Amino acid sequence: MNFRAKNAKKLFNFLQEDLRHFRSSPGDVRLREIASKNRSCYRRLRKELEELTDHGLRMLKSLQRPGANVMQRLAVQLLCKQLDQAWTYFNRSWKMQDHVYVQYLELNSFQTRFREITNSLNTVEISLREFSTSATNIEEANTLLDTLDTINQSLGLESTKARDLIKLGQDLLDDHRFTVDCVQPKCTELRRMVQKIDCMLQERKRILHKFLDLMDGIDAANKWCNTALNHLERTVESSPRSSLSDEDVFSQIRQIDYLLSKSRELKLRSRRDFEETFEELKEMLAPQIIFAVDDALDQLEAVTMQVMQAREELRSRATRYKKFFT
């Protein structure tokens, strides 16, 4: 009985010493090693105490027989009571210390994951800072947008990890208030980083889509000019002005009015439109794009004048339907 009691006490003291050492041991792996070691000691000690208790109860039962030594019976009863009190105290202390294990392990895991995620987010941010939105044609712009989509996928993965870690951080704050000074700033930093990088990404996408709008505007203006010139050429070839009836004049004016209405739908109608709508692109546009804008606007202005002149000539020839054009 005394040997078993001394052995149990030795295990108990060893465990208490390791619990004190646990708080000053850095590193998730080291913490887990200590926690595992201490839990193993706890199981060994519990087994020792259970065996010791069973042995004491058997001894006590044997000392209940008539003629048994009364002093021995009282000594065993006292030891059993002390053992029960020691077990109750130790079990309560162990639960508290095991809770400390969990707290430290969760906090250390949180900090490790925080470093990993912030390193990954910094890598995404650097790639966006080095990303150029300068394109010289539609194909280059689409290629750049594809690259941004790839970056966006990486950001999406890290954002998901960040949200999961923020949730874990909130759970830590709810369960372990002592972590507030460590966890709360890191959760705030994760939110800030994700929002900042997402804004950078969306801004670069917006600029590239704006460039594509400009290229569409140039293309639409050129197509309108070609359509208008072809229309004027066909009407002159098919119906000389001198042979037009009033009905023909009215029909052609309607066609020209339709052409003019389509020109008002163009994204790029004048230099004022360009200055107001695409001002932010001017500094990053390649010279050939600026030339293309100037050429498109010059042609648009010239063709519009031709169309308006053709309409005025037709209007001056109208007699029966003149009231429609005043």
Please state the length of the chain: 326
Instruction: Give the torsion sign (CA, 191, 193, 197, 203).
Output: positive
For residues 188-201, one letter each, b for 16 or more C-beta atoms within 10 angstroms of the residue's C-beta and e for the rest, the string is eebeebbeebbebb
Within 10 Å of residue 117's Cβ, how many Cβ atoms?
Answer: 21
Give residue-wise pLDDT tens across range 235-267: 776 655 556 677 777 888 889 899 999 999 898
Give residue-wise pLDDT tens across range 265-318: 898 888 888 888 888 888 888 889 999 999 999 999 999 999 999 888 888 776
pTM of the entire predicted model? 0.69
Helix (H), strand (E) at residue 148: helix 138-175
Helix axes 138-175, 180-238, angle to 10 degrees: 160
Residue of 263, 261, 262, 253 lying closest to 232 (CA atoms):
253
Q: Which two tokens stand for residue 321?
A: 């339907």
Give residue-wise pLDDT tens across range 178-198: 677 888 999 999 999 999 999
Q: Region 36-54: what's the mean pLDDT?
A: 77
Q: Region 115-134: what's the mean pLDDT?
A: 94
Residue 242: per-residue pLDDT: 55
pLDDT class for 14, splitting at 50, 70, 90?
A: very low
Residue of 76, 65, 77 lying closest to 1 (CA atoms):
76
Q: Hey, where are the domains in the chain?
A: 1-98, 208-325
Helix (H), strand (E) at residue 213: helix 180-238
Alpha-carbon gap, residue 272 to 153, rounded angstroms: 38
pLDDT class for 76, splitting at 50, 70, 90?
A: confident
Half-sphere exposure of 97 (CA within 13 A, CB side): 21
Alpha-carbon gap, residue 110 to 26, rounded angstroms: 14
Q: What is the mean pLDDT of the chain?
A: 81
Q: Region 5-10: what's the mean pLDDT?
A: 48
Residue 3: per-residue pLDDT: 39
Alpha-carbon gap, residue 40 to 14, rounded angstroms: 12
**Cβ neighbours of residue 228 closer than 8 Å, sequence gap 6 or more:** 259, 263, 303, 304, 306, 307
Contact 225, 299 (CB under 8 A): yes
Contact 56, 1 (CB under 8 A): yes
Contact 103, 176 (CB under 8 A): yes
Contacts 24+ apart (CB under 8 A), 74-83: 76/1, 79/1, 79/5, 80/53, 80/56, 83/5, 83/49, 83/52, 83/53, 83/56
